[in-house]
Amino acid sequence: MSIDSDFHEHLKCGCTTTCRAWAVTRKDGVQLGFTDHDGDLEFDGIKFRADTGMTARAVESSTGMAVDNSEAVGALNSAAISERDIEFGLYDDAEVRAWWLNWADTRQRQLIFSGTIGEIERSEGTFRAELRGLAERLNQPRGRVYQKGCLAKLGAPECGVDLEHLGYNAEGVISSISGETSFSVSIDGTFENSLV
């Protein structure tokens, strides 16, 4: 991860003025900013509030496809994150971005985390939110899995095939099996069109 050159120069000097800030964008579009600095900050049109009592654990970074997760901890504050909003699921899967920055010059900053909020635990007026990295989505099953074998009985609701409206049907008896996927059927009479 490359670091902004001005921020890098600031970090190389003997006296640094750094802090962390993170923005949460809920599914309803509401955007909130937080910082562990002792004063409010503002950049990218977001006000990062210092009076929320919210802190974030250091982000664990790794190479490859490993999942980078962290967590945020804070007090339930009706002016920031309320217990009611958490109960209503407004923070479920909300987008989170976190920066390491120079609070004396917020143009000098580095994005250190981007992901979503996972599980949220509440107890005695505080909350603990799991922060899931972008690679977390790669661990989630997507779509349907198709395979050679099928556990559903033909025509059953979980099968998805409506035998009443196949078009042609007839009753028969399996007369021979050749291999694992082929068989022959003996049918008495002729096919009748059953489409209505």
Query: Which tops the pLDDT comparison, 153 or 95?
Result: 95
For residue 102, give every residue at least 6 positions away whose Cβ sits within 8 Å of its Cβ, in sequence order, or none. 7, 10, 16, 17, 18, 108, 109
Flag whether the pTM goes above 0.75.
Answer: no
Give the three-state DSSP class for 92.
coil
Token output for 145 = 């899995």
For the residues 8-19, what does the mean pLDDT come to? 81
- Where is pLDDT greater, at 141 or 107? 107
Instruction: Report the pLDDT value the prediction gives residue 40, as an integer from 0 to 100.
Output: 92
- Three-state secondary structure call for residue 102: strand
Is residue 191 pLDDT above 60, yes or no?
Answer: no
**What integer pLDDT is reported at residue 41 of this predicted model?**
93
pLDDT category at 78 given cuts 50, 70, 90 is: very low
Q: How many helices (H) and strands (E) does the chain have?
A: 2, 13
Which ranges in the chain are annotated with CATH 2.40.10? 5-139
Residue 82, judged by CB atoms within 10 A of its CB (0-12, 13-18, 19+), counts as: middle
pLDDT of residue 89: 85
Q: Please say if the pLDDT value at position 106 is more than 80.
A: yes
pLDDT at 47 over 90: yes
Instruction: Please tell me the CATH code under which domain 5-139 is placed.
Output: 2.40.10
pLDDT of the residue at 176: 85
> What percentage of residues in the chain have a pLDDT greater than 90?
7
